[in-house]
Structure 1
């Protein structure tokens, strides 16, 4: 073996015995140091570098090359990770939108600009109180669900200020009110009894329509508390002359059931859901049929006249209703209002939920899922206090 080969073997052994050195610097720091070194190289050395490249320059270029390759790889890896994260988020979002838990069944968040006329209890602190107004023709009482998140739960605070709460609706919705200003309502015995006190010289408003409206309004407001009659008295604790009802000390209430809700809209103002038949309709199918008929200029049918429907009871306090095709059906306000009118009507007939089969391309209408169980609402025509 020649001397040159022996020298190479000896050099290799010495190199193997050298301690391993690990550079802890990041690639960015190393790259910046190399760039700084190159930029500060004297001109005389730069002029000679193209003739005889130094080992240091070759090493530097190698490191730069490795750094660039490494950086490119990281960017693509990050892009893949971002894409993977987006796919994962989309999957999670789909799972959330497909949630069928009891609390969210039938209801979804929507980007479609559809106004709701129903109230569902969502915040534990919210207290609700049913107030009443009348339509423009003073024919039907319209329940208003007053929602207050800061309420003490004391109903006397609200029923003695009925008209002050609904006064804005006179202009914005086009309704009328009853003159409750001179009447004081007071619950006692843990809301088991209700007293109505009027001034000694109280005069009940003239007209049979006032008597009918008075009865309807009190029925809607106070039967939900389980009150079957109101104790009536003057400030001197005497019986009251209530005009058509005579001189009485007890005013009987009628339980509200089997209501047929339609859509009330005075001129081009905001819409309300209005019960047009109370305690008069026997079956839900009869109610749904009546919901295809308009009443005058301001009360419109929520169900299109040109459709056929089939309503069935599944035996679980749930109604399943399917419709034939109509060019009025879509993910729009018209169809959402129909759904809401049916939901509140079904509630008055004792149903707890409704499943809708409406022939449209969308699986949802507004915030309601089609083909799934939708719970009936907690209230109608919400008026939220801020």
Structure 2
């Protein structure tokens, strides 16, 4: 069958079909078509509440820690208030608490980021060590005290840090022993027994007011013999020269075995080395000075030796050895045989602070320690570190 035949056949069939007329209005047709069209709903995007990155919290905490760490007074050896680490830990816990609306909306990436930030913070916490020195700050007052070791063989200086400027120093001195925790710290508070002190800066002297019938309390001959040393430790930092005794009694004007003394010059500090005192495993660790005759090189070598009779440990570990100890003006330069030996830990920071205190007594104003590690606690290596103002801080809140 040919193509021409098929085409003619189709035309014939179409002519025979009935004619169809559409009478539907065009506008009505449009409305019907439009009414059957269901508009495609825009997909509602689920709103996701983003939790601020823990990195932000971590950075804020680190900034606070570093700023405070540059001020050693905030990391005292003995603290009557809540430690700064407690505050940082509390802030971290608060930062981790999710709200009811967003607890299920943390993405996997955000969770992983939080875990990484937590690891960073844990490392940062491990690098915060106890500082046993203090520097004067704008809004604090330093009050200098002293205690004895538990065998009354050594005088241990303390620095009471009062969180306000221009505090009534004399009032604190009248109640100084109230702030000393003998049993906890493993020390012996000097038996001032209601003595009071008046500082006269015009005459560069301190007036010691001895109450009537003063008997040195439970202090024996050894304790009484340290009276002038204790008073000198307490008041020399104020640049005073003399202690004057004022007896309340007109008949009893003696200080025990010291007899009748009206005044005495404050003992000017000799060259001293600093070691670490700790009466027991759980006792406080405190720096204790010992007078020393010799140069700074011999002084640092001696700091490697403990003194068991006074429960005093070496402040420089025995396995440290020096390749160079030199001075550059008023700066002490120290190199170790093994520059990789100093580590970022509490023991090394204690050593650095003991060196700073010892260098200060030898007339140096700064110390530069060469080491492979860039930072030990709050102290940068391979650059100048200024000597501190005082030692063994006790924070009074």
| TM-score normalized with structure 2 length | 0.66
Cα deviation, 1:304-348, whole Å, max 9, x if unaligned, reads: 112211221111x11111112389732111111101111111111
* Residues 237/223 of structure 1: CA separation in 2 closer, same or farther (3 Å cut): farther
TM alignment of 1:126-137, pairs within 5 A:
126-137=140-151
* Residues 148/49 of structure 1: CA separation in 2 closer, same or farther (3 Å cut): same
Unaligned runs of 5+ in 1: 1-41, 51-56, 72-81
RMSD (Å) for aligned C-alpha atoms: 4.0
1:373 matched to 2:388: no
Match of residue 156, structure 1, among 170, 181, 188: 170
Q: How far did 1:189 drift?
A: 5.5
TM alignment of 1:136-285, pairs within 5 A:
136-150=150-164, 152-166=166-180, 168=181, 170-188=182-200, 190=202, 192-204=204-216, 207-236=220-249, 240-268=253-281, 269-275=283-289, 277-278=290-291, 280-285=292-297
Unaligned runs of 5+ in 2: 1-29, 46-51, 72-84, 86-123
In structure 1, the partner of 2:325 is: 311
Match of residue 113, structure 1, among 122, 128, 137: 128
* Residues 162/97 of structure 1: CA separation in 2 closer, same or farther (3 Å cut): closer
Q: How far did 1:385 drift?
A: 1.1
Q: How far did 1:227 drift?
A: 2.3
CA distance in 2, matches of 1:172, 1:226: 32
Cα deviation, 1:212-241, whole Å, max 9, x if unaligned, reads: 321221111111222222111311467832
| TM-score normalized with structure 1 length | 0.68
CA distance in 1, matches of 2:196, 2:254: 15
Counterpart of 2:344 in 1: which secondary structure? coil
CA distance in 2, matches of 1:238, 1:193: 25
Counterpart contact for 1:232–1:240, Cα < 8 Å:
no
* Residues 44/330 of structure 1: CA separation in 2 closer, same or farther (3 Å cut): farther
Q: How far did 1:152 drift?
A: 3.5
Counterpart of 2:353 in 1: which secondary structure? helix
Cα deviation, 1:62-99, whole Å, max 9, x if unaligned, reads: xx8xx9xxx9xxxxxxxxxx99xx9xxx9xxx999999
Counterpart contact for 1:304–1:328, Cα < 8 Å:
no
Counterpart contact for 1:186–1:196, Cα < 8 Å:
yes
* Residues 98/182 of structure 1: CA separation in 2 closer, same or farther (3 Å cut): closer
Counterpart of 2:233 in 1: which secondary structure? helix
Q: How far did 1:204 drift?
A: 4.1
CA distance in 2, matches of 1:97, 1:253: 39
Q: How far did 1:149 drift?
A: 1.8
CA distance in 2, matches of 1:372, 1:331: 16
CA distance in 2, matches of 1:284, 1:43: 104
Count of aligned pairs: 306
Counterpart of 1:223 in 2: which secondary structure? helix
Cα deviation, 1:123-171, whole Å, max 9, x if unaligned, reads: x1201011101112211111111111235433211221121121x2x13
CA distance in 2, matches of 1:186, 1:224: 15
* Residues 45/332 of structure 1: CA separation in 2 closer, same or farther (3 Å cut): farther
* Residues 175/43 of structure 1: CA separation in 2 closer, same or farther (3 Å cut): farther
Counterpart contact for 1:331–1:364, Cα < 8 Å:
yes
Counterpart of 2:188 in 1: which secondary structure? coil
CA distance in 2, matches of 1:223, 1:302: 25
CA distance in 1, matches of 2:208, 2:65: 49
